[in-house]
Amino acid sequence: MAYIKLDNVSFNYRKDQPVLKNISLEINKGDWVSILGHNGSGKSTLAKLLIYLLKADKGTIEIDGVKLTEKTALDIRKKIGIVFQNPDNQFVGVTVEDDIAFGMENLCFDRAKILQRIETYSKKVNMHQYLKKEPHNLSGGQKQRVAIAGILAMDTDILIFDEATSMLDPASRDQIMDFIKQLKAEGKTIITITHDMKEAIKSNNIIILNKGEVLAQGDTKKILTDKRLLNTSNLELLLPLKLMHRLKQENIHNEELGEILWQLSLNA
């Protein structure tokens, strides 16, 4: 049974201007799903619907067998950690430390555990020496790392990352990707929203949104090698896969070469 299930969900911010149209999709427990799509395709809106920050106009959302309603929202939220696209919208605390604590306080972790986890996770994202700083005075990438630490520390079953690494340097981005891999290995359910195909290829399932509709949903390899599909929603082939595509056009293809290029794209 699906862990997260959307059935015919629609939403609009302004009357008669639908932003999400009849979205139906299922995400299994333990999946790592990437949501891709052009700017304004509805990815962040979808994420906000999942935590009941926005309420669907039509259709139903079910999480772990429970229908998402005003009544159930509080309990369901405890299962979900979300890193917002704009880290400034995440910050509530006066200091970085308070900020990382905030999510855990909501989950009623005891004080000792909170302190210990602030320690662990701020070190994990290399922000330990900034604990007493004001979150708003950090650099862009530092803000993103603090936001990520706060969510990791909550240890929820479901984690949503909305372009959480968009302002990180290559090494920090790789590091966060490794954490996510680890979380998946621990059985967490993960949704990453991204424009970076290098990140997307690490997930095992992909959903492409296009103008508020699900354009495609399925296995990562199938979707990330489909040039036409990717182009429709302003996406791109990873470079090794682009090469594979070009070589096929030149009538050069054998399985070995194809496999090598696929492997290269996995580690791009």
Ligand X SMILES: Nc1ncnc2c1ncn2[C@@H]1O[C@H](COP(=O)(O)OP(=O)(O)OP(=O)(O)O)[C@@H](O)[C@H]1O
Binding site for ligand X (CB under 6 A): 13-14, 19, 37, 39-45, 85, 137-142, 167
DSSP β-bridge partners for residue 27: 4
Interface pick for other proteins out of 197, 207, 215, 224 (rule CB under 8 A): 197
Q: Among the candidate windows 63-71, 82-90, 128-136, 257-265, which touches Mg ion by CB under 5 A?
A: 82-90
Q: Which residue has the tokens 């509709």?
A: 213
Footprint of other proteins on 162-191 (CB under 8 A): 163, 166-173
Taking the least distance from each CB to other proteins, the nearer of 75 and 88 is: 88
Q: Give the dihedral of Cα atoms 27, 51, 36, 59; nearest 10 deg.
A: 70
DSSP β-bridge partners for residue 209: 37, 214
The yes or no reply on residue 44 touching Mg ion (CB under 5 A) is: yes
| Cβ 144 to ligand X shortest distance, Å | 8
Q: Among the candidate windows 54-62, 98-106, 136-144, 224-232, which touches Mg ion by CB under 5 A?
A: 136-144
Q: How far apart are CA 198 and CA 267, in angstroms?
A: 8
3 state SS of 250 = coil
| Contacts (Cβ under 8 Å, ≥6 apart) of 231 | none
Q: How far apart are CA 226 and CA 180, in angstroms?
A: 25
Interface pick for other proteins out of 60, 71, 75, 88 (rule CB under 8 A): 88
Taking the least distance from each CB to other proteins, the nearer of 53 and 268 is: 268
Measure the N-to-C terminal CA separation of the chain; round to a whole number of Å: 33
Q: Count the residues of the shown chain that bind other proteins, applying the rule CB under 8 A.
A: 49
The yes or no reply on residue 166 touching Mg ion (CB under 5 A) is: no
Pairing of strands 4-14, 58-63: antiparallel
Pairing of strands 189-193, 158-162: parallel
Taking the least distance from each CB to ligand X, the nearer of 182 and 231 is: 231
Q: How far apart are CA 84 and CA 91, in angstroms?
A: 10
Q: Among the candidate windows 57-65, 75-83, 107-115, 242-250, which touches other proteins by CB under 8 A?
A: 242-250
Instruction: State the maximum Cα–Cα separation within the chain, in Å, rounded to a whole number.
Output: 64
Q: What does the binding site for other proteins look like in residue numbers (CB under 8 A)?
A: 13, 37-40, 44, 85-86, 88, 132-134, 137-142, 144-145, 163, 166-173, 195, 197, 231, 233-236, 238-240, 242-243, 246-247, 250, 252, 257, 260, 264, 268
